[in-house]
Amino acid sequence: MNEKRRSWLKQFLEEAQALSRYDVGETIDGLARKLNRRPSEILKLNSNENFFVPKEFLKRVLSEVVEEIDPRIYPRDERLELEEAVSRYVKVSARQIVTGEGSDQLIDLVSRAFLKHGDVALSISPTFSMYQRCVKIQGAKFVVVPLREGFSLDINGILDSAKSGAKLLFLCSPNNPTANQFEPEEIQHLLEEFEGLVIVDEAYAEFSEQSIVPLAEKNENLIVLRTFSKAFGLAGLRLGYAISNTELASTLTERYQMPYSAALTAIKTGIKLLERMDTIKKAIQELKVERKNMIERLNDMSGVHAFNSKTNFVLVRVGKSSDWVCNGLLNRGIIIRNLGRVLKFDNCLRVTIAPPEMTERFLVELGRVLDEQSV
């Protein structure tokens, strides 16, 4: 092998080791094979997917899309049609919309557009890991400011850290994994005082009661991220969008976003779902009812505390080892997310809100696992 090539390839591989791996956790098929069970017997509650939007409804929509599209042709007018539909949904100008292949791709887009090697980006802790991943890929420094007790923002801490010349501030609101939402007044204060760009990830906004989207046009340094993966149940199709002022949105779309950044199938499905909001709103309302039920029942269990949630998941603290609980549930065909320590709280879990029959199975098996360790 050429020595010069070998040298830089070795350097690349060594530097790559500093980047975090995104662990998707146990999969349905993988666990089914381990347990010698059918995939349909596995309960997957670890990735904040939305099981309240009926699968048969989505399959009918997809069937319509497949009949209408020509997969040989790149999406052009369809993207503009989606942006118009989104603009009506969130009540902003279509010129403020940037579409992408899920909000993850838009996080990467913003990081590529604004960060160079050696720059600084800020975020909170704990939060969604993709911000750190995208920042570090750019060779930039990622600085975190821990949330306060009660999961509130440390405004002064963020602004003090920003004095290093940070270019970006990532906020997830409602936040993953704490499930709480930050006050619009706090975010507005940061927009006024932070000298860089503020990116607010509202992946879970439909499950809460408020949004900061109305702030986007009048604040030159705000980008709001949204996704079809959560409220619309399209995690498998990868479709998202960003909202900002018109100048910033057009610059990102025309100069930095890749052409045809979302698949035609996803775009057309998104358009059709925005035309069928009654079904989506019904699913969101059903989820909120079940969220309340799950939190109440978890808090009735001995040694368990479920935190309030503005998302489609619940952060849960158990009085036993979270490793034990997760492994015990895995052995019963139930996949949840083991978080371990979250700020000062040990033995934390994250559980997707699911329809009643799924919730019932999870709660029954959780109780059995906790009882087993008590023996």
Report strand pairing: 197-201 vs 222-227: parallel
- Domains along the chain with CATH numbers: 24-48+278-374 (3.90.1150.10), 55-275 (3.40.640.10)
Sheet holding 97-100, edge to edge: 97-100, 240-243, 222-227, 197-201, 168-172, 120-125, 141-146
The string over 312-329, giving b where at least 16 C-beta atoms fall within 10 Å of a residue's C-beta and e elsewhere, is bbbbbbbebebebbbebb
Give the span between the Cα atoms of 139 and 48, in whole angstroms: 30
pLDDT at 25: 83
pLDDT of 375 reads 44
The number of beta carbons lying within 10 Å of the beta carbon of residue 186 is 15
State the angle between helix axes of 356-374 and 322-330 in degrees (0 to 180), rounded to the nearest 10.
120
Alpha helices by DSSP H, 115-149:
130-137
**Two tokens at 280?**
């989506």
- Triad 312, 318, 319: Cα angle to 5°: 170
Distances (CA, A) of 235 to 46, 94, 151, 238: 13, 23, 27, 6
Question: b/e string for 69-99 if b means 16 or more Cβ within 10 A?
Answer: beeeeebeebbebbbebbbebbebebebbbb
pLDDT of residue 373: 57
| Average pLDDT by stretches of 10, the chain with 375 residues | 82 86 88 97 97 98 98 95 98 98 96 97 97 96 96 98 96 98 97 97 97 95 98 98 97 96 97 98 98 98 97 97 97 97 97 98 97 66
Cα 341 from chain centre: 20
- What are 45's two structure tokens? 């509650």
What are the backbone angles phi and psi of residue 191, rounded to the nearest 5°? -60, -35
**Nearest by Cα to 239 from 12, 85, 348:** 85
